[in-house]
Structure 1
């Protein structure tokens, strides 16, 4: 993979179909991307939080806390919230939701990667949350759940790794109950002058070498910083969520647009 950015930082992919054959800045054959992405996360599973610390300068923890605060899980035993977290194998979002609900919520973590799920199961058991969080291996594009199963669907820093994003959004709509909420936290397009240049330099010049120093392999980190630049920007992704059938779609930028939280409702 190239070590220099080959993109215009003021633009992002406008045709979502490109994401299915885009592995970072490389173009791959239809059907190849999922296996390549799986390999990336097999390599970084045990260091997933460290990976996000490197990618965000540690800010991902604050963004995730803000996401769960925006969700505001109910603290009710009479009608516990059923929560689905997709591509959240290590269970960090599910853990936050369950604990914020005072352990009344029931969370299901669905991830295509078995290595990530293994890390999540171990963490949940050590935290005494085994009875509150279920771990299921499955594909975001074809979720193994019945229609109208969940009150909330969350996905954090995972949807840009899904080859067919529109299909994943359609599946999110399908498994939510009427009145259910969709929430997606993802790296996005910086909208603050000068910050974009600083962020680009940090991403391409610092993150891959740091990843090599910490893990011995810079390639997963090179892919991840490239995948951020290929992901649709805030407005384009908002339109994709609306196209999937969601209403009242909105987004909130964090840290100048380095990350964005998109939210929508199923009516």
Structure 2
């Protein structure tokens, strides 16, 4: 299978935290559904921003590929955490999805009738066609996630990156949303970041744990030993329950307020 992105010995840091990512190597393939897990502060979001070109690495190489050949950049769609979206901003659902067609660094674009038809087609696929004229401030968390996903895929990217997409939605929506991602993955590679290990494992083809370094696992048949090693100070268990498994943080020193019970996420 052809590579999309190849990361070699990446080091990234900030002035007040020089070693956020250290010696990270990773390959993302054309049909990948890659799950990214890891403890808070481990560098997951920093990795995403570096791939998107928002952060300059200190060392290392990121190569992009198209049809097996190295290219200077790659068309990547991005779905941010919805708590980063200003729902008071006066913009409609249609305009948000359209903005996914605006080239980077271009502030103004004249949209054609063909562009607006693309919006309708994407909205129909997302199941939100009736929401197109509404302001984003009127939407539920689940509806907004579908709008942002529509924005991420409208320009036919080679890869979409999703940062904690299920944080602010209910479980019924979450299940349907992940089914939609499975359908999209037939055409587009996906990189999905989540704190919910159980859900990630039930969905993805490959998985990586980012905790300053990076532990990669081909396939989703993850052992307890691999997870414990990858998380180090935050060992975890996987439980199956209902349509999607849950993750459980096992008892350890960093959860003082839960010394005698596991912390579960329903």
**TM-score (ref. length: structure 2):** 0.28
The structure in which a higher percent of residues are helix is 1
**TM-score (ref. length: structure 1):** 0.28
Structure whose CA Rg is larger: 2
The structure in which a higher percent of residues are strand is 2
